[in-house]
Chain A
Amino acid sequence: MDKLLRINMGMDGGPKASEEPLGDYAGLAGRGMTSAIIAKEVPPLCHPLGKNNKLVIAPGLLSGSHAAQSGRVSVGCKSPLTGGIKEANSGGQGAQVLARLGYAAIVLEGKPGDDTLYKIVINKDGVDITPDNSLKMMGNYDLIDTIREAYGDKVACISIGPAGEMKMAAASVAFTDVEQRPTRHAGRGGVGAVMGSKGVKVIVLDDTGMSARSPKDPEKFKAANKAFVQGLKKHPITGEGLPSFGTNILTNVINEAGALPTHNFQTGRFDGAGNISGETQSEIMKARGGMVAHGCHKGCVIRCSGIYNDKDGNFVTKRPEYETVWAHGGNCGIDDMDAIAELDRLDDDYGLDTIEMGAAIGVAMEGGVAKFGDAEAAINLLKEVGKGSPLGRIIGNGAAVTGKVFGVERVPVVKGQALPAYDPRSVQGMGVTYATTTMGADHTAGYAVTANVLNVGGSVDPLNPEGQVELSRNLQIATAAIDATGMCLFIAFAILDQPETFEALVDMIGAFTGQDLTADDVTELGKTILTFERDFNSRAGFTQKDDRLPDFFKTEPLPPHNVTFDVKDEDLDRVYNW
C-alpha cells in the first residue's frame, strides 16, 4: 500500500491512469488520506460536480492485513450535498482487496467531455479503463450480476446506481460484500454523484495473485490480533448484542429514551417501534431462513450484519441497520419490517443514502406529498427517485431540497445533510456533534470511542452537565483518528470497557507499522485530520453560523420529555478550540 493510483477522466484521448509514490501522503490512510488529498488538491470553491473536484477512495491503515475488523474504506470529495469536505465510509470487501493490490488510494480526477460511461478494472497487471454504455442506468444488483458473468465471483466492486449517474446529492457509492452483493455503501454526502460526474460506473478490483499485507513484526502482530479478537468476542456488545440483534438493537432503547425521531422529528416515541425492533427483526430473519449473525467483510468477528429474506425464503437485502429502520420506519411512521426491507433494497439498488432518503421522504410526508405511515406511498416515492422523474429528483437531492420545494419548515439538516436517528433534544451531546462536525449532521463523527481512555483533550467528568462541548470535541478528535485506521467503529465498546483490548489494538497497530503508537500520536492525528477539514470548509465559505442546528430544535419541545436543545451558540463555537 505504497502508491497512489490517479485516474484522470478528462484527458484528451480518453481517461488515463498513472501511479505515483505517496510522497507527502505517506503514513496516511482512510479518512486521513481522503481529507488530506481533498484539502490540499481540491479548490474549495469548485463545483462539486465539476472537473476540479476529486473522488478519493482510500482503505484503512490495517486494511488488507489479517487484522480483525480492518475492512473499512473511506470515500472523500467535496460534497454536492453540503458544499463542504466529505468523508463517507463503508464496509464490504473493497478496502481489503484495494489494499492488497497495493494502493493507498484511488484518486478520480477531471471530467469526461461527454456522457460516456466507463468501467475500470484493476488487477495485479495494471489498470484497464473501457467505455461501456451498456451499463447505463443499471441498478447496482443487475450491474454486479453483469460484472460477475464477466470477471467471476471473486472480484470486489465499487459502483454507483442510477442515482449516482443522475448526480443526485443523496447518491451513494456501493461496495460489494462477502457474497458479492452491493449491500455496503459509503452513503453520506452524495459521494456517488461525484463518481457519476467522473463518468465511472464501476471499479472492479481483482486481487488474484496478491497476498495479504505483512506486518513489520509478524509474531507480535499475530499475538495482538488474537488478544484483540478475544476481547471483541467476550464483550457483551460486540460478542453478544450486535451478533444477535444487529445495530437495530437500538430501536427499543432509543424509543424508550424518547429520542427516536418520529414523524419527521415531531415526537420522540413511535408506537410501532416494537414491530420494527431488532428483537422482532431477528425473529423474522430466523423464521425465514435468513442469517442473523453475518460479517460484511472477511475478517469481521462482530458480525452485526445479516440476511433478510422474504416470506418465501428468498433474499431481499442485508439486515437493515438501525439508521435505515429508523429513517424509513419511525421517521415516516412505518412499522412494517418487510416494507422497510424493500426500501433498503431499493436504496442499495439505486445507490442512495438510506438516512437521507428516509429523512427526505419524512419531509415530503410533512409537506403533504404522502401520509405518515403509508408504506406503499414511501416505496412509490423511492421508485420515482430511481426513475429520475421530477418528483424523484427532488427527493433524491435530499431533505433540504425537498423541504424547500414543499414549503416545510421542520427540515432536519445541518450543512444540508439530514440528521440521523437520535433526536438532539434528548441526547444533546450528540446535537453538539451534529452541529459542529465538518461533515454535516453525522452520528459517526463523534463516536463513543476512547476519548476518555486516551485522555484526549483531558478527561471529562461524565456527570458534569457542562461537559457536553468538551466530550463532543474529544470524541470528534478520537473518531477522526480511528477512521484513519480502517477499523470498524464498533470496536469502540470493547476498547472502551476493556483496557487489555485497547492495549491489544495499540500493539497490533504498532506491530504492523513498526512504530509505537501513543495516545499523543492518536490525538495529533485526529486533530490534524479535523484541521484539514475545518480549513477546507472555511475556505469553501463556511462560518460559525453553519455550526448550528435548525431553529425548531431550540423552539419545539420534544415529547415525551418536552425538552429543547439548549446548548448555547457560544459553547458550540468552543468545540474547535484546542
Chain B
Amino acid sequence: MGSPAGGSPFSSVLKRPMEPKPENYSTIHLRLTVESDRLSLFSSLLGQGFTLKVRTGCSVRELLCRQLGVRADYVDHRIQTIFLDGKTVDDVDTAVIRQESTLALSAAMPGLAGATLRRGGAYAAMRRQISHQNTAGHNSVADGVVMLKLFNLVALELGPGFLKQGVWIRGKHMENFFKKVPDYFWPGCRAAEIDGTPLTVEEIGRLEWRHRQVFLKLEVKESG
C-alpha cells in the first residue's frame, strides 16, 4: 500500500495522441494556463470522465501501463478500486477493455463498502453480483475509445498528466465545472484560448458548452 514512492506516477511521458475524432459532435479546443495550486479543482471534472483514443481489446494493466504509461507499482499498490463498465475489477490482467468501455480508478476506500469493493479484497464475496467477470481469451485488438474516470487521490496524482496532454470532456460537464468552480479559481487562471483565439477568463464562464465536445488542455505555471 501507500502513495507512489515520490515523483510522477507515470513511467514515461504520455505520448499517445489524446485526440480521438468524436463523431456527431461540435468540437472545441480549450487551452487554459493555470497556476499549479488550482489543479486540484479539476478533480471533480476528472471524476465525471474523459475520453481517450486507445487500442482496445487489451487488459486493464496493458492499457494503464503500456499505453498510458502509468507505473506498474502505482497500478499494483495505489489503484485499489477499479470499475470497468461499473463492475468491480479484481484482476487487472484478465479484465479486458472494450470499445467505449468506461474505466474508473480510485485509491483504497474506507468503510465496509470500501473494503468490499477493493480489488481482490478479503470481502469481495460480498459484492459478487457486481464483480467483473474475467473476459480474457475473447480479445479483439482494435483502435477505439474509452472513457476514463479518476477519483480522489488517483485524480490528484494522475490527473495533471492527462490534463497537460489534453482530454476530451463532454460539454455539459465543462459547463457544470465553470458554473460550480470556486471563485478563487479565476485569479489563478492566467490565460485562455479557444480554437487558438485568446479570450478573457470572464468570457469563458459565459460561453455555451453544453452541446459540444471539449478538448481541454492545460498549461501549468507555478503558483504565485
Contacts and interface: CB of A to CB of B under 8 A. Distances in A.
B125 A287 contact: no
Contacts of B90: 463
Given A236-B107, A250-B111, A257 B124 contact: no
A451 B115 CA distance: 12
Contacts of A492: 115
Interface in A211-258: 234-237, 240-242, 244-245, 247, 249-250, 252-254, 256-258
A563 interface: yes
B1 to A, nearest CB: 6
Contacts of A432: 126
Given A275-B176, A462-B122, A247 B127 contact: no
Contacts of A560: 86
A542 interface: no
Interface string A449-485: 0011000000011111111100110010000000000
Contacts of B149: 252, 256
Nearest to B129: A563
Contacts of A283: 40-41, 43-44, 182
A566 B104 CA distance: 27
A526 to B, nearest CB: 15
A493 B1 CA distance: 11
A241 B127 contact: no
Looking at chain A's contact residues, the main secondary structure is: helix
Contact of B130 (A242, A253, A277, A561): A561
The winner among B1, B114, B123 for most chain A CB atoms within 10 A is B123
A182 B70 CA distance: 45
B161 interface: no
B120 interface: yes
B47 A250 contact: no
B3 interface: yes
Nearest to B121: A462
Nearest to B102: A256
Interface stretch (B15-23, B150-158, B197-205): B150-158
A428 B86 CA distance: 16
A433 B110 CA distance: 17
A490 B113 contact: no
> What band does the interface of chain A fall in when counting residues whose beta carbon is under 8 Å from B?
35 or more
B126 to A, nearest CB: 2
Nearest to A427: B127
A578 B60 CA distance: 41
A497 B1 CA distance: 8
A277 B152 CA distance: 9
A467 B121 CA distance: 13
Interface residues of B, number: 53
Interface in B23-60: 40-41, 43-44, 47-48
Contacts of A402: none
A241 B126 contact: no
Nearest to B78: A236
A277 B121 CA distance: 24
Nearest to B81: A253
Given A256-B83, A257-B88, A274-B47, A490 B110 contact: yes
B112 A258 contact: no
B124 A463 contact: yes
Interface in A404-426: 422, 425-426
B44 A277 contact: yes
Given A274-B47, A496-B115, A430 B130 contact: no
Contacts of B191: none
B213 interface: no
A271 to B, nearest CB: 10
A427 B113 contact: yes
A53 B44 CA distance: 48
Interface string B140-153: 00000000010111
A463 B113 contact: no
A566 B130 CA distance: 13
A461 B122 CA distance: 8
Interface stretch (A6-14, A200-208, A440-448, A503-511): A440-448
B110 A429 contact: no
B169 interface: no
A297 B102 CA distance: 40
Contacts of B127: 257, 259, 426-429
B183 A287 contact: yes
Interface string B63-105: 0000000000000001011010011101000000000000010
B1 A468 contact: no
A17 interface: no
A161 B48 CA distance: 39
Contacts of A561: 86-87, 129-130
Contacts of A490: 110
B117 to A, nearest CB: 6
Contact of B180 (A247, A256, A275, A447): A275
A443 B129 contact: no
Contacts of B153: 236, 240-241, 244
Given A274-B48, A471-B126, A256 B111 contact: no
A459 to B, nearest CB: 9
Contacts of A123: none
Contacts of B130: 257-259, 426-427, 561, 563
Interface of B: 1-3, 40-41, 43-44, 47-48, 78, 80-81, 83, 86-88, 90, 104, 106-117, 120-130, 149, 151-153, 155-156, 173, 176, 180, 182-184
Given A241-B110, A253-B117, 12 more contacts: A237-B108, A244-B153, A244-B156, A256-B151, A288-B182, A426-B129, A429-B123, A468-B126, A496-B115, A561-B129, A561-B130, A566-B129
Interface of A: 234-237, 240-242, 244-245, 247, 249-250, 252-254, 256-259, 274-275, 277-280, 283-284, 286-288, 304, 322, 422, 425-430, 432-433, 443, 446-448, 451-452, 460-468, 471-472, 475, 490, 492-493, 496-498, 560-561, 563, 566
9 contacts: A237-B109, A250-B109, A252-B151, A253-B104, A280-B44, A422-B113, A426-B127, A429-B127, A498-B1
List 7 tightest A-B contacts by C-beta distance, closest first: A429-B126, A287-B182, A448-B115, A467-B125, A279-B43, A448-B112, A563-B129
